[in-house]
Amino acid sequence: MMTPPLSRRLAAEAVGTAVLAAVLVGSGIQATGLSQDGGVQFLANVLASVLALAVLIALLAPVSGAHFNPLVSAAAWWTDRRSGTGLTARELGAYVLAQLAGAVVGAGVANAMFERPFVQLSGHDRSAGHLWLAEGVATGVLILLVFGLLRSDRARYAPVAVAAWIGAACWGTSSGSFANPALTFGRALSDSYTGIAPGSVPAFVLAQVVGAGVGLTLVTLLFGRSSDRAPDDARELVAH
């Protein structure tokens, strides 16, 4: 299958990340307005987010790979940088910008849908070592899952598998599994249930980067190098 033009791939990444951010932030706002029970709020937010993620991956993977995550794009570039079958450095930069822009717009639209300012900086401080560890774990397993599916020729399972891991990680990690620098940045622009204070973002992103590096190392350890798989699988990358 021919690779779509870069403009279409960037549009898919921006739109997909925007919709994901809008559902993530919007469902959090909706949940807190409908229930005072913290468990119910969290369940509603997680359920809406993973359903949206699965649908968006299934829809947009044939166009851009449905990364929606700068670390997935960076890992795709890194693993295929010598083969010439994956993203170029220029395309990686464009993907990341599209994802960041999508996250900002999506969070803003969610704010606006619930009669809040388009940009409303979050006051939710999330600065603690156990949260950073949780982000590293959530992101590392995400990268292991995405690229493990690729190396084992099972990318077709990605919509369900990735959404399932994100849902499990939301409940199983203390940070709630942001696992995505773009969405972390977008969530800083909404002072709502899912928000994160701007001052907490750098450490979260650093933990995610470290986790992604560990995840890539595990991929090589468990599934071999990228040269061990078919080149045609290079674009079918998906993630939160």
> 114 with 32: CB under 8 angstroms?
no
Domain range annotation of the chain: 6-233
> What is the pTM assigned to this prediction?
0.92
% of the chain surpassing 70 pLDDT: 93
Kindly report, residue by residue over 114-166, the tens digit of the pLDDT.
999 999 999 999 999 999 999 999 999 999 999 999 999 999 999 999 999 99
Kindly report, residue by residue over 173-225, the tens digit of the pLDDT.
999 999 999 999 999 999 999 999 999 999 999 999 999 999 999 999 999 87
Select 6-233's CATH number: 1.20.1080.10, 3.40.50.2020, 3.10.20.70, 3.40.50.620: 1.20.1080.10
Q: Do you know the residue count of the chain? A: 240
pLDDT score for 231: 40
Half-sphere exposure of 61 (CA within 13 A, CB side): 23
Least confident of 96-100, 182-186, 231-235: 231-235
